[in-house]
Structure 1
Amino acid sequence: MYFVTDRGWAILLMLCSLWCLGTWPIFFNIAERRGRLPQHTYIDYAISTFAVAVIFALTLGQIGDSDPSAPNFIQQLSQVYGSFFPGMNSKDVRQDNLPCVLIAMAGGIALCLGNICMQYSLVFVGISITEVISASLAVIFGTTANYYLDNCLNSARVLFPGVGCFVIAVLLGSFCHASNANDRTARLGPSNPRCEAEQDLHTNLLKSSLVDLIATETSSSFMDLEEQRAVKVRDSSVMFGLLLAFITGTCYGFFSPLFNIATNDQFHLLDPQVPHLVIYTSFFYFSTAFLVLGVLINVYLLYYPVLGLPKSSLWAYLSDWKGRELAILAGLVCGFGNGFQFMGGQAAGYAAADAVQALPLVGTLWGVLLFGEYRGSSHRTLALLVSMLVMFSVAVALLIASARER
């Protein structure tokens, strides 16, 4: 069993997780904009995410000899059956760890629901606003909960100023996107179909983020995108997209504390002689629930689609190879990001590991470097952009600096 115990390695894992979790939504957005059905994308994504959890469990979770207080993955995997077969004689089977297994699975369900909502929120309000809303809620709720669950392990004098910097960064991001929306409106003119029907500045702001990842900003390019993409967003409800973003953030705020409880059993749900779930076992059950729920929901949506999407089928999904590599890549990157977050959190506090929720930092950098976002923006917009990125960087630095060895 391989455990990370060094604070330095834990911080490195958190930084790698931050990059991974800020990157994978971009692959989702690109696949949808190229016309791939979101249901097809999510099923591939869920399968590849689960594959990463299995890889972690069968490699890092099986290294070395098994310890009674921290059994290897395969040994601990059998212990859950003690809840179903209490009369069996095997010592391992009598060790009932089902309560923590169910909590780990609840964390996977929360993340799955959050990701599904995020997938559709990206369509309506864009990657920038979706990540700003969801990440801010996740850090405020998740960091506070994890701080107390870990018995105040992290330094509060460093941690909560970091949360404050995160909130400031979110506000700067909102002003930045508002300014960028005005810049786009000025360049595109009143003939832009996004602007004709809406006179309210705030609504125009949200509509403008539908083209966050489009490098060419003309009315004709927007119309071409509308014809190509899987979900038609013209005349769609921006408020519905915002609601999905808030649900996303709420789910993201719960999944990390649930994983923390499943691994460390702060509420003493297990008998004293039963070892806690190791992170690789928790990660496996977490990802199993994530996979099962994600596949069930999206198979249902194949036959009963929403948002005007065309009907599909399992055979159509299996035959759809267009953009499949993007979906698989998104799942692999997200899976490794989750695994690194949990390893770093177990070593140095899950509250500090919530620094990985600074998704707008990575997402905005990708948007600027790869997709030409903010190209041609005003000096005011660029100043707000730089201020937002600096504040996010300070927030991440403070949250990580609060890490303490468990």
Structure 2
Amino acid sequence: MLVVEDRGGAVALMLASLLFLGTWPALLTLLERRGRLPQHTYLDYSVTNLLAAVVIAIASGQLGGSRPDMPSFFTQLTQDNWPSILFAMAGGVALSIGNLISQYSWAFVGLSVTNIICSSLAVVVGTTMNYFLDGRMNRADVLFPGVACFLVAVFLDSAVHSSNAKDEEQKLSMSGGIELSSDVADKVKLLPDQEALDDGGDDDFGTGTAEFIMQVEKRRSIKVFGSSRWLCLGLAFLAGACFSLFSPAINLATNDQWHALKDGVPHLAVYVAFFHFSVSCFVVGVGLNVWLLYRPVAGVPPSTVGAYAADWNGRHWALLAGLLCGFGNGFQFMGGQAAGYAAADAVQALPLVSTIWGVIILGEYRRSSARTYLLLACMLTMFVVAVALLMASAAHRKTA
């Protein structure tokens, strides 16, 4: 069995995980803005997400020699390690629900805002739990200042969101044919001149302009105008609460800190835990999205299994997103097993990557005010400092 045990290899896995986990949300958001139903996208994503776990489990869990304390992948599938399996599956359920909620939150409050709230909650809650579960193996004097930087980033993110919302309100109010409701602090109600909009067809407007915002709303599958800002932010916080639980669950599954396994039963290898984690994530994700095909939410039109099977528009991007997320999660857990799960939570700085993709692909923060750009730069700087501190707290896990 191939196991990463050195600190350098663990940090390399964390960096790869950071890139992958920061990229796949941009792909799903892009598909939603192009009009593809989120249920169709998530079903495609779920298939390759599970495929990544199977590849990691078989390729890494079967290669190399096995040890008595670390059997091969197929050997562990036959052992009496159900307590650890249940912890892993509980983590998969938490991640699947969090990802599903995030898919709608990305539409309502934006890719950057959602990921920052989710990542910060995952670090503040999840990293603290992992620190104590790992027997305080990471340097507290380095780790917790990093956690504090994530907290600062949350407050800066709130300021960025507020400033950018005001910028968009100003753009819309200055554009002809658009009328804003009086309660602009809580909602933006768009009333375009439909005849003029139809005459415009699918012409591309300048990114970040009022016309661009109108066209995005016209094409996207989740309609967001007129929604309550606080309800939308609540979705992001709910997703973050789910994300804060899945890493500690994997930690318990692989290290058995609560001594749930019988005497003589080896701890669950990280590859095996990730496999069970991904299976439960797949079952929950597919089950909920098949149900949402016929009982959609957030103004999304209904669909059917047959319509999903025939929908090839953008399917390759959804499949790629599943692979990126699957390998990203797998690399995070492998790095955490080697250097501590608290340090591996450095990958929660994924909004650094997501924000870059949000600006390049989705046009977020284009043509915003200087104040918004300054706050955005300060927020991203906090994330850079935070990820550096969490990685610097990495230690070497002592194996039995």
Q: Flag whether TM exceeds 0.5 (same fold).
A: yes
- 1:192 and 1:342 mapped to 2: Cα distance? 52
Verify the 8 A CA contact 1:132 1:173 in the aligned structure 2: yes
Q: Taking structure 1 as reference, are residues 194 and 42 closer, same or farther at Cα in structure 2, changes over 3 Å only? A: farther
Give yes or no for the alignment of 1:167 onto 2:144: no
Deviation (angstroms), 1:159: 0.2
Give yes or no for the alignment of 1:149 onto 2:144: no
Q: Which residue of 2 aligns with 1:276?
A: 267
- 1:286 and 1:140 mapped to 2: Cα distance? 22
Q: Which residue of 2 aligns with 1:70?
A: 70
The residue correspondences of 1:6-405 to structure 2 (distance < 5 A) are: 6-79=6-79, 96-191=80-175, 196-201=180-185, 203=187, 216-405=207-396
Verify the 8 A CA contact 1:185 1:195 in the aligned structure 2: no
- 1:276 and 1:363 mapped to 2: Cα distance? 35
Deviation (angstroms), 1:15: 1.1
| Secondary structure of 1:365 counterpart | helix
Verify the 8 A CA contact 2:120 2:151 in the aligned structure 1: yes
Deviation (angstroms), 1:32: 0.8
Q: Deviations over 1:11-69 (max 9, x none)?
A: 11111111111111111111111111111111111110000000001101111122221
| Secondary structure of 1:107 counterpart | helix
Deviation (angstroms), 1:371: 4.0
Percentage of identical aligned residues: 56
| Secondary structure of 1:267 counterpart | coil
Q: Which amino acid aligns with 1:34?
A: R
Deviation (angstroms), 1:271: 1.1
Verify the 8 A CA contact 1:18 1:337 in the aligned structure 2: yes
| Secondary structure of 1:232 counterpart | coil
Equivalent residues, number: 381
Note the aligned Cα RMSD (angstroms). 1.8
Verify the 8 A CA contact 1:158 1:401 in the aligned structure 2: yes
- 1:248 and 1:335 mapped to 2: Cα distance? 18
- 1:301 and 1:238 mapped to 2: Cα distance? 23
Deviation (angstroms), 1:315: 1.1
Q: Structure 1: 5+ residue runs without aligned partners?
A: 80-95, 205-213
Higher mean C-alpha displacement, 33-42 vs 145-154: 33-42
- 1:356 and 1:109 mapped to 2: Cα distance? 20
Deviation (angstroms), 1:367: 2.3
Q: Taking structure 1 as reference, are residues 185 and 267 closer, same or farther at Cα in structure 2, changes over 3 Å only? A: same
Q: Taking structure 1 as reference, are residues 325 and 102 closer, same or farther at Cα in structure 2, changes over 3 Å only? A: same
Q: Which amino acid aligns with 2:274?
A: F
Q: Which amino acid aligns with 2:299?
A: G
TM-score (norm 1): 0.89
Verify the 8 A CA contact 1:32 1:230 in the aligned structure 2: yes
Verify the 8 A CA contact 1:193 1:219 in the aligned structure 2: no
- 2:234 and 2:340 mapped to 1: Cα distance? 31
TM-score (norm 2): 0.91
Deviation (angstroms), 1:280: 0.5
| Secondary structure of 1:61 counterpart | helix
- 2:185 and 2:179 mapped to 1: Cα distance? 10
Q: Which residue of 1 aligns with 2:199?
A: none
Q: Structure 2: 5+ residue runs without aligned partners?
A: 189-204
Higher mean C-alpha displacement, 227-236 vs 56-65: 227-236
Deviation (angstroms), 1:231: 1.6
Q: Which amino acid aligns with 2:390?
A: L
Deviation (angstroms), 1:188: 3.5
Q: Deviations over 1:355-384 (max 9, x none)?
A: 111122111122234444333333322222
